[in-house]
Structure 1
Amino acid sequence: MVSGWTLLWRYSLFAVLATAANLGAQRLVLTGGDRPGRYLIAVLAGTAVGLVVKYVLDKRWIFGDDETGLKAHGRKFTLYTIMGGVTTALFWGAETGFWLWFGTHEAREIGALLGLMVGYVVKYQLDRRITFAPRAGDL
């Protein structure tokens, strides 16, 4: 696992990359219109894309986890997703709140960025302590 400034810069860069992937997927879905149903699909698609991108980067480059195999990935990705579920509420709440309050895509994206920033800080702590923490049998 990395620490200090390297950790901060990597984690920030990966958050930016995952955020760009998330918002890019949302924009792609929203090119078909911005009806309420389409908006929900956009948010779900963006969240899924951002989750996978961030997991792949964090696993290897933040937490130094080189474990392979379906069992290891399945367990860790499941935990990573659960921890993400906790913080996704922050992201969706901020994004949706800005969308409803201001009614523009620019405001929606600002809300998304703010929600994602707070969510990523909380998520790192959860992943460090739970998802990628050494298990009793691994010590």
Structure 2
Amino acid sequence: MRIALLYALFCAAAIVINIGAQDLTLRLWPSAIAFSIIVGTAAGLVVKYILDKRFIFRFTAQNAAHDGKTFMLYTLMGVATTAIFWGFEYGAWMIFETTQMRYLGGVLGLVMGYLAKYHLDKKFVFSTASSPP
């Protein structure tokens, strides 16, 4: 139960960072929706990796190269889940054409994606198989 609550809290933090970074980017460049989504995704990814690695999976990399490899696997597992997030966000934008609904679509997509990502990360990223011998 503790892991589930922490994971939910970290997902919420990453969502706030993601949407906040998008909003800030759009305040600076109002017509750059696609760019804002990429900026938000990158910001949320880095924060979520650090939190998941340390507190959810209690993973310690053996060196910088191992950490880099782990981050790349973490990012790779996020490709499909990011497609879910982007699909919901763009879909809400196309259907409703309002910023609020676009962000709501993004939040819903992130929640669904994070549920899938936990299982992918547990099995493929932070398992003993991803650790060097």
Query: How far has the Cα of 1:24 moved from its partner?
Result: 0.6
Q: TM-score, normalised by structure 2?
A: 0.95
User: Structure 1 residue 64 and structure 2 residue 58: aligned?
Assistant: yes
- 1:48, 1:105 → 2: CA distance? 20
Which residue number in structure 2 is paired with residue 30 of structure 1? 26
Which residue number in structure 2 is paired with residue 132 of structure 1? 126
Pick one of 65, 81, 84 that aligns with 2:78: 84
- The runs of 5 or more residues in structure 1 that have no matched partner are none
Query: How far has the Cα of 1:138 moved from its partner?
Result: 5.7
Q: TM-score, normalised by structure 1?
A: 0.91
Q: Deviations over 1:103-136 (max 9, x none)?
A: 1110011101110010000000000000001028
Which residue number in structure 2 is paired with residue 41 of structure 1? 35
C-alpha RMSD of the superposition? 1.5
Percent identical: 41
Q: Would you identify which runs of 4 or more consecutive aligned residues in structure 1 move more than 6 Å?
A: none
- The runs of 5 or more residues in structure 2 that have no matched partner are none
Number of aligned residues: 133
